[in-house]
Amino acid sequence: MSTSISPLTSRDDGEVRDGDTAVAGLFDALGTERAEASADWSARAAARLAAITGGDPVLGWTVVAAATAVVLRRFGAHQGITLLAGPPSGERFPLFLRPRPELTVQEWLGEVRTAVAEAMAHETPGDSRTLELVWGDRPGTAPLALACDARGIRAGSTIADPARLRYLVDGIGVVLEEGLHDLGRTVSELGVLDDATTALLAGFNEAEPLDSTVPYRELVLRQAPDALAVEDDIESFTYADLCRHATAIAVRLRAEGIGKESLVALAAPRDAWFLVTAVGILFAGAAYMPVDPATPPARQADLIRRADALIAVPGVAGASGRPRFDLAELRNAPAGDVADLGPAPEPDDLAYAIFTSGSTGRPKGACIEHRSFLNLLATRVPDYGLKPGSTVPQTAPLTFDLSIWQMFAGLTAGATVRVVPDDVVRDPAALLALAVRHRFGCLALVPTYIAVLLDELRDDPALTARLREHLHLMISTGEVLSPGLAARWHAQLPGVPLLNAYGPAEVADDTTGGPVGPDEPRHTPIGLVLPNVTVHILDPDQRPVPPGVTGEIHIGGRSVGRGYLGEPAMTASAFVPDPFATTPGGRLYRTGDLGYWRADGAVVLLGRADSQVKIRGRRVEIGEIEHLLETSPDVARATVELLDEHGLARLVAFATASIGGTLDAEDLRRFAAERLPDYMVPNQVIVLDSLPWNANGKVDRRALRAVAAEKRSREEYVAPRTPVEETLCEVWAAHLPTADKIGIRHGFFALGGDSIVGIRIVQEAKRRGITLRPRHILEHPTVEKLAEVAIPFEDPAESDGGDSGPLTPAQQSFLARGVPNPDHWNHGVSYDLGRHYDLGEITAAVRVLARRHPAVRSRLDLTGEPRQYAVPEAPPVSEIDLTGVPAAEVDERAHRAATGLHEGLDLRSGPVARFGLLRIDDAPDRLVVVIHHLMVDLFSWDLITDELSVILRDGDDGSLERPGPSPAAWAAALTGYVRTDPARLGAGHWLDRDWSGCAQVVPDGLAGVEGAVGDVRTVLDEAASRAIAETARERGLSVYECLLGALGAALREWTGEDGEALVQLGGHGREDVLDLDPSRIVGYFNSAYPFALPLSASTDDVAALHRSVPGRGFGFETARFLHPDADVRARLTALPRPRLLFNFWGTPAYLADGRDGGALGAVRIEGTGADRDPAMPRPYALECYAVFAGSRLSVSWLHSADLLSAKRVRALADAFTESLPTLRTGSQS
């Protein structure tokens, strides 16, 4: 950046006051020592100077002054300069010079000569505090002092970068040589760079060329077919899957005439299937155009009308007369052949269009051709380390140009693209956890979000250490990166490079990029020019400026897009001929961004040259918002200001009512919210009787700012009434400093809040014991409303062991059965230890684990209202000596020892967990872990296994993520959640239907006892197991739904019935309804609910019925035990209880018998003792559990042997297997 030593001060109309100084393109900062630079006139210039002036020193000084004004104009003094004139006559007077570009040199010299004569005649007193030009040998002492004579010019200054003095004196010499040689040239045609500087700038654009000509389709097709290509939280696709689906979609599109130059709008949520579909559009040779389905309908319709076709989810309307495809139906598109797709697109064919804010009131679509698209991807792959085995997190919104390379670049390099859900992106803690879990190698985020990530990491050195293990690059993009933030990054994550990237949507996103160090001075660079791209920084006359001098950034080369969709005039204005191109037809894109070259060829970005602003990394034209507001029939005039107060930017709209009408501020803001993306909606609307105007007939911006400040000071203050409200008000005040005092009814958006500020508030609230999610603040934008959903909690890792609270619904459901021996209902796992451990090592590790997870050191208080509480003592660890036991008897003795551990658990007095270290001759020692089922569920074991392994390896938990809240805290939060709004549990779904027509598929009678259980098991081979997942994915179903459909068909064959069967469906119960992350909790959360399973319906219909269950059934037992209405609780309890349970457990790692447990060695799930009291009554006569154990699907049918024979159950198991779609039965047992 270059700023004036004495900043330009101007009136609102832009006119320069007498004596004002603007040397705005020259100085960045002042140093402490004075530097000098000098240049002799070339022989040609000296001769012409002598010829024109006749040797007259006054005329000579006048000519040099004229040349100096031209150079300083190019260096940023666009409004003119005031210099302290020191001609040979000896007088000192201020002289204002403002060269106009259209003047010829001769005309300009005449104007300067007249101005000098008038100034000398009037002997106007005064001086310039900044710039001085004298005739003589030595410059004066002004901050910028120049001295000239017939031989040359010298300059002196305390400028921090002395090189700029050289560019100044050299530039004056160049102007003299060119201008005096041809007096008919215009000022705008004069150059200011000498040959050496011109060559230096040319070198900045000579990056090593990169091959970016291979078509996208070919790049994707050449990747390893079995490698993972795309995934999200729900599904995943290998490269074979991706290419098969993309080809099928492409063939389907081509059949409708959609191909090259066809623009296909894709309006759907951001997920893995969205990305597969987008690739299908590109495979067809068509162009991809993302449309956010959450976009306000009017804006959405405007965008879709500009496309040639639409692929969308239900509810998104297409344009009349144009093809529309349902996103889900494309999953079933018939297989196609790549050969049917025809030749790949040419470099100048359209690849995609992405929309940005438009100053005309309508979004403008930046159109990018394959030439530019492929160059972007080709540069990202090596720069970001994308390769097979690496994971590319796709975090950016679909309509953000950053999403383009995040979605498509990794697929050209064999990497995996992980689509990160919006709720995770908005939650820095969740994003960091995901980054660690999936080993993200790079992340690309806007600087404001990087800052909140650093806030999250600040107090968590363990998480920081784990992140540093795999993160090799953080990419800052979309906003200006401050040196302070760069320094913070390097201080907190030393060794992890920080890269700054830059590029507008019109030039395929990135055009420069490079590392940023911890000690950048005033501005961070946006990096060097990328391969096959050119950057030119030009002055207002479209001439290059030297390093250190501010100009407008222009971009050329392969990255330059086609222009704006359907906007030829706008395209012609922004995309101009490239005078520096080496081949005909080259164009430059005028970015509107200001910046300068550093001496090393890096570019520094400063800001905008127009009214465009950046909000949350998005470009926003203020004019588009103003235009939209004025389309309201209630508005006469509207103007919008971006107010930056205390570092917080707020969009504030000022509007006046139409003649004879009335205008409500909230109604107008609602009007905007229904038509604009959320980041463009004004934070506040202020209604005025009239807009303030200045003497020049323009809106008085200063007066508007004063109005906004006065409006805030008059806002009603309502004091907090509860401790939670008081804490939240304090947190808001720390992060929303635009109000003197925050009350419970102040509006978050009106105070300048946005999503990033919301994240900071969530982080600070968490540190103060209140749990929120970022979406809460957006949905409840006052402290009064926010306090209703806030959850006070205590972090178990910081508690003193006295954690206490109610039971989870799953725990209450077990106790409600009233079994005679509730203490013996457990889980057990055994580990073949990889090395010898002392008893002390195991004991110490168990203590660390217990400190993290209160569940394993809990007790139940069943007097009165049942509660659970944690005690400080860790579970006991005992050493069991089996040395000397014959090898043939070890397993039986180990089983007996494990059974003893099971029988030693006690819910009331403790312990609820026991650890046994078995010493065995000539075999690995074993660690047997038994925990009462009320304290642990299936999904807890992966957490226990992973954490205990790390603790044994490291000796502590320093490298582990922070645990989640305790089960007691979770249950307490759930109780509050239910009381706030019981209706959201959906109890009516079960209470309002007639269950009398649902058949019990198992005979009446008792379900038997745990000691009389038969188990019929089917295990499919790997190919058949994989086919299930593939079939589910292709049909847009979950595996659970496919299995449930097969169960209905099997029960129809088994029972001979064709109506509805009453089935109890199970789930993990870890629903993310509380905004307390349940994935890091050891506890018992299983859910169960009755389901009327149609026996003659298709799997698709069964899936649709299953999806209609509110909250995946989580609300049934939650309402049964926690609903505030006792009648609701009683009616739910009285519903018919199914005698058949079905559950699909997914792919828990610990169930892969023999899997590597790290420092714990191999995991055993068999032979861990009798985990149930044999006399305990069973809750169901028949239980079906399906699970992927490793890579094979295992289906287990547990049945009461007294009621059902093994042969009878085997018939059901076989019918179930045969009902699974596209399967071959593997081994059966």
Name residues whose C-beta falls within 8 Å of residue 1104's C-beta, 6 or more positions apart in sequence.
none
Kindly list the distances between the CA atom of residue 676 and the CA atoms of 297, 673, 778, 781, in Å, as whole numbers in the listed order. Answer: 9, 5, 16, 19
Q: Please write the tens of the pLDDT for every residue from 1205-1221.
A: 999 999 999 999 999 86
According to the model, what pLDDT value does residue 873 have?
A: 92
Q: What percent of the chain has pLDDT over 70?
A: 89
pLDDT class for 736, splitting at 50, 70, 90? confident
Name residues whose C-beta falls within 8 Å of residue 889's C-beta, 6 or more positions apart in sequence.
none
Q: Please write the tens of the pLDDT for every residue from 644-678.
A: 766 667 788 999 988 878 899 889 988 988 888 87
pLDDT beyond 80 at 615: no
According to the model, what pLDDT value does residue 826 have?
A: 94
Residue 246 DSSP one-character state: H
Which of 1168, 1161, 1197, 1164 is closest to 1181 using CA atoms? 1197
Token couple for 789: 């959903």
pLDDT class for 1229, splitting at 50, 70, 90? very low
Q: Please write the tens of the pLDDT for every residue from 813-835.
A: 999 999 989 999 999 999 988 78
Which residues partner with 369 through β-bridges?
350
Q: How far apart are CA 418 and CA 442, in angstroms?
A: 12
According to the model, what pLDDT value does residue 793 have?
A: 61
Q: Any idea of the CA torsion for 476, 425, 383, 207, to the nearest 10 degrees?
A: -40
CATH 1.10.1200.10 residue ranges for the chain? 723-792
Q: How far apart are CA 29 and CA 25, in angstroms?
A: 12
pLDDT beyond 50 at 950: yes
Residue 459 phi/psi, 5° resolution? -105, 20
pLDDT beyond 50 at 171: yes
- Are 502 and 510 contacting, i.e. CB atoms less than 8 angstroms apart? yes
- Are 1088 and 1066 contacting, i.e. CB atoms less than 8 angstroms apart? yes
CATH fold for domain 621-696: GMP Synthetase; Chain A, domain 3 (3.30.300)
CATH fold for domain 216-344: Rossmann fold (3.40.50)
- Spell out where 963-1116 has E strands: 998-999, 1013-1019, 1060-1067, 1087-1094
Residue 923 phi/psi, 5° resolution? -160, 160
CATH 3.40.50.980 residue ranges for the chain? 216-344
- Are 67 and 185 contacting, i.e. CB atoms less than 8 angstroms apart? no
pLDDT beyond 60 at 436: yes
Average pLDDT over residues 795-816: 75
Which of 952, 1015, 1000 is closest to 1200 using CA atoms? 1015
pLDDT beyond 50 at 1: no
Q: How far apart are CA 552 and CA 78, in angstroms?
A: 13
Kindly list the distances between the CA atom of residue 125 and the CA atoms of 84, 93, 121, 140, in Å, as whole numbers in the listed order. Answer: 10, 6, 11, 18
pLDDT beyond 70 at 799: no
Average pLDDT over residues 1169-1181: 90
- Are 144 and 132 contacting, i.e. CB atoms less than 8 angstroms apart? yes
Q: How far apart are CA 1203 and CA 159, in angstroms?
A: 95
Average pLDDT, whole number, for the chain? 85
- The CATH superfamily assigned to 991-1219 is Nonribosomal peptide synthetase, condensation domain (3.30.559.30)
- Are 6 and 144 contacting, i.e. CB atoms less than 8 angstroms apart? no
According to the model, what pLDDT value does residue 641 have?
A: 87
Residue with tokens 């023999």: 1154
Average pLDDT over residues 850-871: 92
Q: Please write the tens of the pLDDT for every residue from 13-53.
A: 333 333 333 343 454 445 557 788 889 999 999 999 999 88
Q: Please write the tens of the pLDDT for every residue from 739-787.
A: 668 888 888 877 777 777 888 888 888 888 787 877 788 788 888 888 8
Q: How far apart are CA 482 and CA 451, in angstroms?
A: 10
Token couple for 675: 């038509």
- Are 602 and 527 contacting, i.e. CB atoms less than 8 angstroms apart? yes
According to the model, what pLDDT value does residue 1005 have?
A: 65
CATH 3.30.559.30 residue ranges for the chain? 30-192, 991-1219
Class of 723-792 in CATH? mainly alpha
447: preceding bond cis by omega (within 30 degrees):
no
According to the model, what pLDDT value does residue 325 have?
A: 93
CATH 3.30.300.30 residue ranges for the chain? 621-696
The dotted CATH code for 30-192 is: 3.30.559.30
Q: Please write the tens of the pLDDT for every residue from 765-776.
A: 888 878 787 778
pLDDT beyond 50 at 9: no
Q: Please write the tens of the pLDDT for every residue from 698-735.
A: 778 788 888 887 776 666 678 888 888 999 999 988 88
Q: How far apart are CA 1164 and CA 1157, in angstroms?
A: 10
Kindly list the distances between the CA atom of residue 87 and the CA atoms of 128, 180, 984, in Å, as whole numbers in the listed order. Answer: 15, 20, 85
Least confidently predicted of 136-150, 387-401, 557-571, 954-968: 136-150
Average pLDDT over residues 206-230: 93
Q: Please write the tens of the pLDDT for every residue from 364-397.
A: 899 999 999 999 999 999 999 999 999 999 999 9
Q: Please write the tens of the pLDDT for every residue from 353-364.
A: 999 876 666 788
Q: What percent of the chain has pLDDT over 90?
A: 47
Residue 1159 DSSP one-character state: G
pLDDT class for 127, splitting at 50, 70, 90? very low
Kindly list the distances between the CA atom of residue 1157 and the CA atoms of 35, 922, 1154, in Å, as whole numbers in the listed order. Answer: 67, 20, 8
Average pLDDT over residues 1178-1184: 93
